[in-house]
């Protein structure tokens, strides 16, 4: 089978540092980059240069300002069957629909929308108009397919630590206004969407819980605060979460911890054991480790699983396989991604009031 012809929409940091290296590892026999679009010609050309350096060929450059080489022109190409969308959060929704309308399969970066309402409206249109036509739309939520997280999911589902009772997820970072490549992205510096970095990055943590916990999250109560003015509107969420089976946990996201050198982690406690998950660096590359302890205190047997962080590669692979009909996987389902946005939105707006996710995301 010929490689899937794809275009990348967006020429930013994450495209150059994550998507292109992952596509190199995926291999040109699976997917071939035919075009790269960015709002500016310079950004698109820079990504094409990186693409060439990775041995992925020299894709055509598309950008705004020239009708012969803008996004509409790109989407008219019949050899481009699918697109990877990595644009600013508030621009992605309209572009996703534009690509689907052009008959392209879509893998779009998280979050699914700037808020729950937008996410739901996009999903409704996709499922009503485009899914019946056989078009695939997936959300590029790499934490949903990280090998270590899928290992934890399987362990918990099999009852390796008994019934999950409590959990604690602590994600602590500091987004400095000086020298931080993410902060210095203009659309992130002055976000026109809720939560700033808490939405942009926090959906990963929500996706992790959605992926590994045996029972779905049903409610949240918490508070959001702004610790650093340069990270407005919020940079910290402290919340408690409850699952349908009664398990409860603590959810702490902090993007403004200027005095912190660590990175947090996740602990999941069950009736007969525990799991601890940590991110770490090995040989200059990001890795993820899970430590599983089976049995009650004093009788535990320890099992360790660690794997290089490879979620971007995995999300691409699952997407290509779905487009080509090789597997019936459901990774990146937009309905799951809107649940992740709901967790962040609830954390930002709760102000101590209990928010039921069934009310935030009504059945549709």
Mean pLDDT of 296-311: 93
Domain ranges of the chain: 4-140+314-321, 144-310+341-360
Residue where the block lists tokens 């969308």: 85
The domain defined by 4-140+314-321 folds into: Rossmann fold (3.40.50)
Q: How many CB atoms are closer than 10 A to CB 152?
A: 25
Q: What is the DSSP string of 54-76?
A: TTS--PEEEETT-GGGSHHHHHT
| pLDDT at site 155 | 98
Pick the CATH number of 144-310+341-360 from 3.40.50.300, 3.40.50.720, 3.30.360.10, 3.90.550.10: 3.30.360.10
Dist. CA 109–CA 138, nearest whole Å: 9
Q: What is the pLDDT of residue 329?
A: 85
Three-state secondary-structure class, residue 102: coil
Region 168-193: mean pLDDT is 87
Per-residue pLDDT of 308-350, as tens digits, reads: 999 999 999 999 999 999 877 899 999 999 999 999 999 999 9
Q: Calculate the CA dihedral of residues 277, 170, 90, 51 and round it to 10 degrees.
A: -40
- pTM, 2 dp: 0.96
Counts of helices then strands in the chain (DSSP H, E): 13, 15
State how far the Cα of 99 lies from the Cα of 82, in Å rounded to an integer: 9
**Which pLDDT score is estimated for 338?**
98
- pLDDT beyond 80 at 262: no
Model confidence at 6, pLDDT cuts 50, 70, 90, reads very high
**pLDDT band at 207; cut points 50, 70, 90:** very high
Residue with more model confidence, 79 or 296: 79
Domains 4-140+314-321 and 144-310+341-360 share a fold: no
Reply yes or no: is the peptide bond before residue 164 cis, omega within 30 of 0.
no
pLDDT, the chain, mean: 95
pLDDT at site 100: 98
């Amino acid at each position: 089978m010929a490689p899937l012809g794809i275009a990348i929409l967006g020429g930013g940091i994450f495209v150059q540092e994550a998507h292109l290296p992952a596509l190199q590892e995926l291999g040109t026999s699976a997917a071939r980059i035919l075009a790269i679009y960015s709002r500016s010609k310079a950004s698109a050309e820079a990504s094409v240069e990186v693409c060439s350096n990775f041995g992925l060929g020299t894709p055509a450059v598309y950008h705004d300002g020239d009708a012969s080489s803008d996004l509409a022109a790109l989407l008219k190409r019949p050899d481009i069957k699918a697109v990877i969308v990595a644009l600013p959060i508030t621009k992605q929704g309209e572009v996703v629909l534009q690509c689907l309308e052009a008959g392209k399969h879509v893998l779009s970066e998280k979050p699914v929308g700037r808020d729950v309402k937008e996410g739901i409206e996009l999903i409704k249109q996709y499922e009503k108009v485009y899914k019946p036509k056989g078009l695939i739309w997936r959300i590029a939520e790499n934490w949903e397919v990280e090998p270590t997280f899928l290992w934890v999911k399987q362990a918990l589902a099999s009852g390796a630590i008994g019934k999950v009772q409590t959990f604690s997820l602590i994600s602590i970072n500091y987004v400095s206004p000086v020298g931080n490549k993410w902060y210095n992205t203009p659309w992130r510096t002055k976000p026109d969407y809720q939560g700033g970095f808490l939405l942009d990055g926090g959906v990963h943590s929500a996706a992790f819980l959605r992926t590994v916990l045996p029972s779905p999250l049903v409610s949240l109560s918490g508070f959001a605060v702004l610790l650093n003015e340069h990270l407005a509107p919020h940079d910290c969420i402290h919340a408690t979460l409850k699952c349908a089976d009664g398990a409860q946990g603590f959810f702490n996201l902090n993007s403004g911890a200027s005095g912190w050198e660590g990175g947090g982690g996740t602990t999941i406690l069950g009736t007969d054991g525990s799991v601890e998950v940590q991110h770490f660096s090995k040989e200059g590359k990001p890795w993820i480790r899970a430590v599983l302890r089976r049995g009650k205190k004093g009788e535990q047997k320890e099992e360790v699983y660690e794997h290089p962080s490879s979620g971007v590669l995995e999300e691409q692979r699952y997407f290509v396989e779905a487009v080509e009909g090789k597997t019936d996987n459901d990774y990146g389902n937009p309905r799951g991604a809107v649940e992740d946005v709901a967790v962040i939105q609830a954390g930002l707006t709760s102000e101590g009031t209990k928010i039921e996710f069934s009310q935030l995301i009504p059945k549709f």
